[in-house]
Amino acid sequence: MLAEILNLKNQIFRGSLITVCLEEPISYYHNRTRPFVEKIEMLQRQKPGDIVFYKIDADGEAIKFMVNLDKPVKPRFINSPEAILNCKKPAYFIAKDEDFAALPEDVSQHITLLAGGKISGDDCVVFTLIYDDSIVTVQTGKSIICGVDVF
């Protein structure tokens, strides 16, 4: 009986240790991602659109982004620049900085950068296709959507 109690106590202690060791890093990355997610949620409140991850895997940064959303959404995942131009609905594309910078000119001339931020430790951006009725570039060079400054 004493051996069973000691074993149970040992299992409880190990479980608590794992919780303490894992919770802090998860919370840290959650807090680093949240401001970027809030920017995108603000954009969606002003002008609803799909969430589309460009060259971001469904099992990495996408999960970190999704757990920070206030409500569940069903994102799309694309990997080619041509797929960006083929999106017919209003959409918010999320990409790592380096993937955004590598977009070919024939694609980049049709998009507007809306905001930057972090997903975990990765620098990312959100951009959209230029829709004549929703995106306005002001003289300061900042992009605004539906009258809300996002930079």
Residue the block writes with tokens 């099992």: 59
Residue 40 placed within a domain: yes
Determine the Cα–Cα distance for residues 5 and 124; give it in Å rounded to an integer.
50
Residue 11 placed within a domain: no
Q: Please determine, for residue 82, whether its predicted confidence score (pLDDT) is greater than 60.
A: yes
Q: Please determine, for residue 39, whether its predicted confidence score (pLDDT) is greater than 60.
A: yes
pLDDT score of 137: 33
**Number of folded domains in the chain?**
1
Enclosing domain of residue 104: 34-149
CB 129 within 8 A of CB 91: yes
pLDDT score of 134: 47
Residue 9 placed within a domain: no
Beta strands in the chain (DSSP E): 50-54, 76-78, 91-96, 111-119, 122-129, 135-137, 143-145, 148-149
Residue 146 amino acid letter: C
pLDDT score of 88: 81
